[in-house]
């Protein structure tokens, strides 16, 4: 029963985080709420999720830090996602988005050389994405960099 509650809370926090991510602009309070929700989702996945859920939670945390211009925190969580992808041999779009998150963090940090290096790794990994729609979406996100 406890695992089911953690899963429910993880999903709710993940989805509410997306509501904030999708906003064109956020107040300071909304930015903090978005960050808290992303961490809450990842926390609950720690009790109820797979390694893949945990990795994607790390990606979401990285995304909220990136869009909040907090590059060091974004990079910490993006690297955690990449570590999970490598450890468990997750390919498809997960590895592409791990590289995208790292590239995005380097962009926020102003390190264009490393941004381009990880963007290139992301672009090279697109061939591992089976579904064309997923591949096109991942490529469009990398192109935004």
> Distance between CA 59 and CA 5 in Å, rounded?
22
Instruction: Name the pTM for this structure.
Output: 0.95
pLDDT digits (tens, 9 = 90+) for 65-115: 999 999 999 999 999 999 999 999 998 999 999 999 999 999 999 999 999
Number of Cα atoms under 13 Å in the Cβ half of residue 84: 20
Domain coverage including residue 46: 2-143
CATH code, domain with 120 = 1.25.40.10
Between CA 14 and CA 58 the distance in angstroms is 11
Count of structural domains, the chain? 1
């Amino acid at each position: 029963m406890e695992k089911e509650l953690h899963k429910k809370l993880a999903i709710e926090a993940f989805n509410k985080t997306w509501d904030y991510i999708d906003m064109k602009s956020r107040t300071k309070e909304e930015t903090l709420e978005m960050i808290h929700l992303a961490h809450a989702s990842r926390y609950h996945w720690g009790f109820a999720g797979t390694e893949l859920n945990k990795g994607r939670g790390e990606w979401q945390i990285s995304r909220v830090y990136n869009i909040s211009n907090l590059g060091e925190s974004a990079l910490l969580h993006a690297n955690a996602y990449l570590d999970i992808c490598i450890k468990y041999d997750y390919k498809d779009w997960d590895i592409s988005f791990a590289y995208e998150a790292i590239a995005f963090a380097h962009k926020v940090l102003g390190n264009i050389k490393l941004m381009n290096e990880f963007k290139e790794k992301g672009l090279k990994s697109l061939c591992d994405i089976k579904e064309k729609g997923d591949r096109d979406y991942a490529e469009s996100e990398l192109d935004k960099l």
